[in-house]
């Protein structure tokens, strides 16, 4: 009871957390009302396409919070969280593919369409059980969690740090990208998994289901933020920050730095996997491009733009950068990568604390008392 009160007190007293939950709650109320309760002819109507797009943004915000937890608070610059995000998405995609049944293009109730096309004779062993929702959701957490644990156990006990760790995490992601591109892996190859129909018996194309997925993404984002804030506000959180600021000193006073890093790493990977699982039914596809190194770099840009080490800043950065990406890729698609690179360089040089840091500096200036006027002679 005391811990829950402490968490509520932290969320309530921190201005950024209050603003984060206020915006999230407002979106969770207005978007469904303006989509389902307002006629399509009205200027206030929010199209179903926009609902799915906003749900995708919320999934990205959850992914950004996961990265900010390990980078902003523990000092681990991860370029491999797209691996956990994509693995969670593939687990959800496998479940959705098994729901197609006889409505597939080739009419086979047992094999996904791409396996029939490739002349596969039986379902691979790792696809068994994925037609059951609870088992698929277990795999959403178990597979990325085990991979994160195995990778972190070897990396952190070998005391790999800094840029070397970042390179290894990206190498892990790139290796998975190459593996999932192969048709022999049984995950759809280059095309991936798509053409989903149902989720728990509900048609994924119905506006009500789209709204439900949007609300599920908002709920997951809110719970993940509260969980991360609880970790940071706890005694473990102080140790995590000590590892970031003075790893050697933290180790010398008796803390098992490797265990602290491993715990935060795995927890962050699980959050990324949940984001991936929520992402797939809203965008309607999962393919190896989700493992691409450019995606991992984009996540770092989101966190840097919003404000590293704040959680709500990471979510803000994810929303703003992805909105900009949507606009640029529609209006000026050839300019987007240059704009992204320029944004990252500009933030690094002029806004090292991101948008949240800039707002804090402006507020501090406004609260600063004016210097006293000199008395006239």
Q: How many residues does the chain have?
A: 377
Residues above pLDDT 70, as percent of the chain:
92
Helix (H, G, I), strand (E, B) or coil at 110: coil
Helices (H), the chain: 2-13, 15-36, 48-68, 81-98, 113-117, 133-157, 162-181, 207-233, 235-245, 247-252, 257-283, 293-306, 312-331, 336-350, 354-367
Categorize the per-residue pLDDT at 8 as very low, low, confident or very high, splitting at 50, 70 and 90. Answer: low
pLDDT for the residue 9: 58
pLDDT value of position 104: 45
pLDDT at res. 294: 87
User: If we measure between CA atoms, which residue out of 58, 11, 88, 75 comes closest to residue 314?
Assistant: 58
Q: Tokens representing 91?
A: 């687990």
pLDDT at 339 over 90: no
Decide if pLDDT at 374 tops 70: no
State the chain's maximal CA–CA distance in angstroms: 99
Cβ neighbours of 116 (radius 10 Å): 16
Span 269-284, mean pLDDT? 95
User: pLDDT-derived band of residue 45, with 50, 70 and 90 as boundaries?
Assistant: confident
Question: Residue 306: is it exposed, middle or buried by C-beta count within 10 angstroms (0-12/13-18/19+)?
Answer: buried
Identify the residue with better confidence: 140 or 195. 140
* Whole-prediction pTM: 0.91
Would you place residue 337 in the very low, low, confident or very high pLDDT band (cuts 50, 70, 90)? confident
pLDDT value for 211: 94
Spatial separation of the C-alpha atoms in residues 273 and 142, rounded to whole Å: 9
Tokens of 195: 């053409």
């Amino acid at each position: 009871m005391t811990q829950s009160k402490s968490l509520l007190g932290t969320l309530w007293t921190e201005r950024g957390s209050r603003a984060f939950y206020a915006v999230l709650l407002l979106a969770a109320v207005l978007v469904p009302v303006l989509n389902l309760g307002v006629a399509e002819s009205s200027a206030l109507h929010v199209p179903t396409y926009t609902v799915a797009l906003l749900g995708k943004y919320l999934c990205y915000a959850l992914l950004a919070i996961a990265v900010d937890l390990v980078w902003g608070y523990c000092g681990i610059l991860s370029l491999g969280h797209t691996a956990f995000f994509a693995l969670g998405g593939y687990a959800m995609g496998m479940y959705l593919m098994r729901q197609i049944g006889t409505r597939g293009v080739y009419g086979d109730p047992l094999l996904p369409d791409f396996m029939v096309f490739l002349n596969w004779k039986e379902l691979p062993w790792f696809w068994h059980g994925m037609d059951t929702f609870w088992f698929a959701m277990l795999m959403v957490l178990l597979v990325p969690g085990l991979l994160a644990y195995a990778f972190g156990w070897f990396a952190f006990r070998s005391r790999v740090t800094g840029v070397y760790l970042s390179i290894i995490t990206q190498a892990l992601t790139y290796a998975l990208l190459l593996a999932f591109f192969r048709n022999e892996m049984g995950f759809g190859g280059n095309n991936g998994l798509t053409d989903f129909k149902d989720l728990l018996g509900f048609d994924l194309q119905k506006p009500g289901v789209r709204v439900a997925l949007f609300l599920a993404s908002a709920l997951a984002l809110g719970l993940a933020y509260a969980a991360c804030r609880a970790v940071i506000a706890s005694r473990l959180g102080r140790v995590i920050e000590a590892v970031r600021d003075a790893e050697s000193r933290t180790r010398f006073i008796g803390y098992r730095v490797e265990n602290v890093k491993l715990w935060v790493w795995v927890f962050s990977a699980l959050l990324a996997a949940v984001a991936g699982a929520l992402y797939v039914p809203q965008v309607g596809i999962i393919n190896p491009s989700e493992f691409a190194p450019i995606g991992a770099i984009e996540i770092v840009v989101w966190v840097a733009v919003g404000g590293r080490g704040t959680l709500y800043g990471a979510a803000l950065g994810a929303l703003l950068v992805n909105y900009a990406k949507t606009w640029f890729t529609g209006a000026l698609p050839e300019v987007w990568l240059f704009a992204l690179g320029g944004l990252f360089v500009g933030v690094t040089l002029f806004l090292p604390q991101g948008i949240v840091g800039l707002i804090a500096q402006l507020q501090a200036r406004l609260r600063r008392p004016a210097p006293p006027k000199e008395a006239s002679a």
